[in-house]
Amino acid sequence: MNTSFYTGVAGMKTQQFGIDVLSDNIANANTSGYKSTTVDFSTIYSQQLTGSLFDPTGNDIGVGATHKGTRTDFSSGSLVDSENKYDMIIEGDGWFGVKDGNNEISYTRAGQFSRDANGFLVDASGNHVLGTSANNVIDGNIIKNPAKTINLTDVSAQTPIQIPDTLTIPATASTYINFKGPLDPKRIEEVGDDGKKVEIPNTEVYRADVFDSKGNINKLDITFEKEVPQAPTSTRWFAKATIKDPNGNILSSEEGVLDFNGKGALVGNTLTSIDNNGDPLSLSFGTLYDENKPNSGYDGLVSLAGLNSSRDIEKDGNPSGTLQDYGIDNLGNIQASFSNGKTVPISKVAIYHFSNQEGLEKIGNTSYKPTANSGEAKFFKDKEGNTLQISNVKNRKIEISNLNITTALTDLIVMQKAYDASSKSITTSDQMIQNAINMKR
């Protein structure tokens, strides 16, 4: 009978432990990045009243229960929208890395980040968020030929991410410009002094803005004048290209000839480039006609009467620009957008992985540190050594606790009833002993 006392006590202690864990889960129901914990219970060793190899059944008596341990549920929590442009979540497996003032690194799923007074990306506790810099910012300026994509370096090489408050991007000179559209060779006549009709040259003008390396937006005009009289099976256009500075001063001028066959396809061109205030600018009016190459001669300018097609001009280069805002793409690149329409990545948030994330150790503030059971943090690599992105990042989102509050409250009721029942076994045993004592009297 004394065993039932200790069995009841063991049951109460065990259920109390479970209630403590559930209470912590419920208290963190709205904590960003919180991962709920479940309790594993097990029986305590049993004792055997009698033993015989010939007994058909056993007669063991258990002596209660105990908590074997806890397990963390690492499934993703619910997502809520955020107005903070630096808030982010990880879709799927992965962890953010943060470094505290003692250079200790921990890992979290809570992506509520912001910029501190020094421009570093930090979490709510002031820990620096880790990642890889594009190394394309010098003295507040984006260097020329900035990186288009950022590949994470080694795990040990990740550094705090700094987001400059002001940035400028230099002008990039235009190196090419491609023209596509019609030149209308329809015959134009006027009455001459002798009263007879004579053909006059058709004129077409194409215009575009081009950029030089000094940051100027220059004007390019190309005037096409048809040769008259027009040949019966071909068309020739004389072209004159002129570049003017923003004040209208002529910087350079070039002339050339464009020839088209009877079907309007380009078969010859002598105007191929022009000087753009010290920067060479390639001029393209399409590929020359080759009967063995589909669409050749028709992928640029064409000389066809009555052709109602739009003009298209493709070019590179851009003027200088100032920082407008920051954004984060689905690969974790922090993108700086500029007044000239350019977007340049300056850093990339590191997404870490573990061989066994269930082996991570909680250290508070929804942060974890690796253990021998979890393995060290790592990046997945391809055979060339480039980091593989297996999880996407979503901007302006917050991942809240993954706790199922309905299940938690139900478990709480069950454990509370089990606690009460264990206490009842103690009082019942006490009454039985009291009755035995009373019998002796």
Shared domain check, 249 and 183: yes
Would you say residue 306 has pLDDT above 60?
yes
For tokens 């060290």, name the residue.
376
Of 286, 315, 344, the domain-final residue: 315
Say yes or no: 375 and 421 in one domain. Answer: no
Tokens of 77: 């929590």
pLDDT at residue 50, as a whole number: 54
Same-domain check for residues 264 and 283: yes
304 and 181 housed in the same domain: yes
Q: What is the pLDDT of residue 433?
A: 79
Q: Among 257, 291, 315, give the residue marking a domain's end.
A: 315
Residue ranges with strand state E in 245-366: 250-261, 266-269, 273-276, 279-284, 301-303, 312-315, 321-328, 333-338, 343-349, 351-352, 361-364
Q: HSE, CB side, 13 Å, CA atoms: give it for residue 32.
A: 19
What pLDDT band is residue 395 in, cutting at 50, 70 and 90?
Answer: very high
Burial class (CB in 10 A: 0-12, 13-18, 19+), 130: buried
Please tell me whether residues 19 and 118 are part of one structural domain.
no
The mean predicted confidence, pLDDT, of the chain is 89
Judgement on whether residues 103 and 147 belong to the same structural domain of the protein: yes
Residue 55 has pLDDT above 70, yes or no: no
Shared domain check, 395 and 406: no
Tell whether the model's pLDDT for residue 149 goes beyond 70. Answer: yes
Q: What is the pLDDT of residues 341-368, one digit of tens each?
A: 889 999 999 999 999 998 999 998 889 9
Cβ proximity of 399 and 33 under 8 Å: yes
219: left (phi over 0), alpha (psi -120 to 50) or beta: beta
* Band of residue 428 on the pLDDT scale cut at 50, 70, 90: confident
Output the pLDDT for position 52: 53
Same domain as 154, residue 118: yes
What's the number of domains the chain is made of?
3
Same domain, 388 and 426: no
Say what the pTM is.
0.74
What is the tens place of the pLDDT at every residue in 6-28?
Answer: 787 887 888 888 889 889 889 98
Q: What is the pLDDT of residues 362-382, one digit of tens each?
A: 998 889 999 999 999 999 988
Q: Are residues 180 and 281 in the same domain?
A: yes
Same-domain status, 120 and 181: no
Question: Which residues, listed in sequence order, are joined to residue 364 by a DSSP beta bridge?
Answer: 367
pLDDT tens column, 79-133: 899 999 999 999 989 999 999 999 999 999 999 999 999 999 999 999 999 999 9
Residue 387: pLDDT over 80? yes
| Domain span including residue 43 | 2-74+402-440
The reply to whether 155 and 243 lie within a common domain is: no
| CA-to-CA separations, 78 to 71, 174, 385, in angstroms, rounded | 20, 48, 34
